[in-house]
A and B are shown apart, each in its own frame.
Chain A
């Protein structure tokens, strides 16, 4: 090889070696200082970043790397694909998604002793595979200017005066919570859902449209298509009521309540994952996040935002869904809903 060729060759080898060293070194450094969080995107991500991620990074120096999901169920194929080499450490999810993932062995058990803030979380919200992060409750919403009467109870949704006027969530909305509610209203429960389906079939004449997510449901109301949204999150109502003062939110008894959760996936940064979860469940982070996201904190020492307190019913009206039971039957419920309630 000539001198010139040899020089070119050496330069290329050195450049390549430098690049490998740079990437390898950085990767090695990053693995010790990070935690990988899979969570929801959109405006929710903004609340998480501002009130949890950025303060956590500032306080601990541990970098939070994000992976996004539209729904928590969508994360399951990712965890499956990464089963042999998981990369995600912390996951925010609905309890049903967490239970399904845990059954497949995709989650790591959460050592409660390592998270001191679990002492301030209600025991029913602390499970081996998930811990409640914040609480949600549902009611219904209606446009006072266009509804034919003032709605006060769940049974008002079945009133014949609302024929073709009610937007109703489909079975896949929030893990079939509307079906659970119908079961409760009809005297059944998560283990006896037949009365609920009988009641839902009676609602069919009043259904003006179905929705699979809150934005879709609100579109019916905001576009003036339908005056009633039969099942909506309290937190989603508050910002919209500011845009339209005619919107009303009612959370009759029984008020269906649930949580969103933290789970630990089997990623390589377990110690940092525990620190992150403990930080997020702390009083300060809980209050700040609840204020922005308009939810109720799971930490009992954290105060709920004033906007939620105004519309929240007494907590004794709250009835939490048996998520473990629902996770075993949800697919069957969806199939039944498709054939008996939403059939075209």
Chain B
């Protein structure tokens, strides 16, 4: 017996003024995804237009002469002074990333092993801290590690030191500040990766005679590497472009890319040069993310990425 091969055709004419034609219904249904995507499309369009404006500005194409030039890029890359600022920014961002990983992994691991209630509690604290005002957090840090801060007062009172220890107004202070400001991103990234681990694997390892250290070193740590790498990328990029932390904790002795862009663009009103520096940082960031994706794709099996 044959199944009906066709859907009954619609009536040739409308039966009443209120009846909507089938094509209008189909048009509406087909158009809904585009309609819902409209805000995202507008946002992406605005970002692309802004990016194009930045590129044009960096090439000097919006200036009095109007013709593009690579002079700003040549100045940013060719001048040892500006290269030095890039290098310092990369160094401090790298140290920040390393310390965020060192201090953030134990917190993420503890959250992974803790009961759900404890995990939620720690997560709430992390979220509340990360949503608090960044400037206020840095001021709190100044009150803690400053010359007359809490730590120095304790050290002096205990007699462990004879004079205040200088922890601020140096690269050390800036790194401390950036670690404090960005460690939450590392913790959340590693925690997310640990959550996806197959919990039977540590048990299997134990059954095969591995102790806890061996299980951690050969099972848990490698499988959590995608999270570590993702957290490292986030922290590195945020730290590299940091402005507020070096401004507040560096006392002018530490200048990073963010400070340079502000100084050139706002204080010295050399917008094309500031735009060129911004484009260099953006290009570097994109390259870093592309490299991260490559590493995760190529060694996904080895690190257990899914």
Instruction: Name A's B-contacting residues (CB within 8 A).
Output: 2, 71, 73-74, 76-77, 100, 170, 172, 208-212, 219-220, 223-225, 330-331, 334, 338-339, 342-344
Min CB gap A29→B, angstroms: 32
B52 adjacent to chain A (CB < 8 Å): no
Q: Which residue of A lies closest to B88 (CB)?
A: A344
* B271 and A209 within 8 A (CB): no
- A344 and B271 contact, CB distance less than 8 A: no
B268 and A223 contacting across the interface, CB-CB below 8 Å: no
- Given the known interface contacts A2-B17, A211-B252, A224-B147, the answer about A334 and B267 at a Cβ–Cβ threshold of 8 Å is yes
Task: With both chains docked as a complex, state the minimum distance between the C-beta of B75 and any C-beta of chain A, in angstroms.
Answer: 11
* Majority DSSP secondary structure for residues of A touching B: mixed
Q: Which residues of B contact A77 (CB under 8 A)?
A: 269, 271
Of all chain A residues, the one with the shortest Cβ separation from B85 is A344
Report the separation of the CA atoms of residues A170 and B18 in the bound assembly, to the nearest whole angstrom: 74
Contact A73 B267 (CB under 8 A): yes
- Bound together, the chains give a CA A100 to CA B88 distance in angstroms of 33
Q: Are A225 and B147 in contact (CB under 8 A)?
A: yes
| CB contact under 8 A between A223 and B142, given known A208-B169, A209-B169, A344-B255 | yes
Evaluate contact between A210 and B148: CB separation under 8 angstroms. Answer: no
Query: Using Cβ atoms and an 8 Å threshold, which residues of chain A touch B142?
Result: 219, 223
Q: Is B155 an interface residue (CB 8 A)?
A: no
Contacts of B251 in A (CB 8 A): 208-211, 220
Please give, as numbers and ranges, the residues of chain A lying within 8 Å of B195 by CB-CB distance.
Answer: none
CB neighbours of A334 from chain B (8 A) = 263, 267-268
A210 touching B252 in the complex, CB below 8 Å, given contacts A224-B147, A224-B148: yes
Interface: B253 (CB within 8 A): yes
Enumerate B12-55 residues with CB–CB distance to A below 8 Å: 17-18
CB distance from B17 to the nearest CB of A (A): 6
In the bound complex, residues from chain B placing their C-beta under 8 Å from that of A220 are 251
Kindly state the separation between the CA atoms of A330 and B263 in the bound complex, as whole angstroms. Answer: 13
Q: Is B175 on the interface with A (CB-CB < 8 A)?
A: no
Asked if B266 CB lies within 8 Å of chain A CBs, one says yes
Q: Which residue of A lies closest to B171 (CB)?
A: A344
**In the complex, chain B residues 279-301 whose Cβ is within 8 Å of any chain A Cβ:** none
Q: Which residues of A contact B143 (CB under 8 A)?
A: 223
Residues of A within 8 A of B252 (CB): 170, 209-212, 342
Cross-chain contact of B263 among A2, A172, A344 (Cβ < 8 A): A172
Complex partner residue of A344 from B18, B254, B269, CB under 8 angstroms: B254
| A76 adjacent to B269 (CB under 8 Å) | yes
CB-CB under 8 A for A225 and B148, given A208-B169, A209-B169: yes
Shortest Cβ distance from B135 into chain A, in angstroms?
Answer: 12
Residues of B within 8 A of A73 (CB): 266-267, 269
Question: Which of chain B's residues have a CB closer than 8 A to the CB of A338?
Answer: 81, 255, 263
**5 A–B contact pairs at CB < 8 A?**
A71-B267, A212-B267, A224-B148, A225-B146, A225-B148
Whole-angstrom CA separation of A339 from B18 in the bound complex? 78
CB-based contact A210/B253 at 8 Å: yes
**Top 6 A-B pairs ranked by shortest CB distance?**
A210-B252, A209-B251, A172-B267, A224-B148, A331-B268, A225-B147
C-alpha gap A208/B269 in the complex (Å)? 28
Say how far A18's CB is from chain B's closest CB, in angstroms.
Answer: 27
In the bound complex, how far is the Cα of B147 from the Cα of A225, in angstroms? 6
Which residues 193-239 of B have a CB within 8 angstroms of A?
none
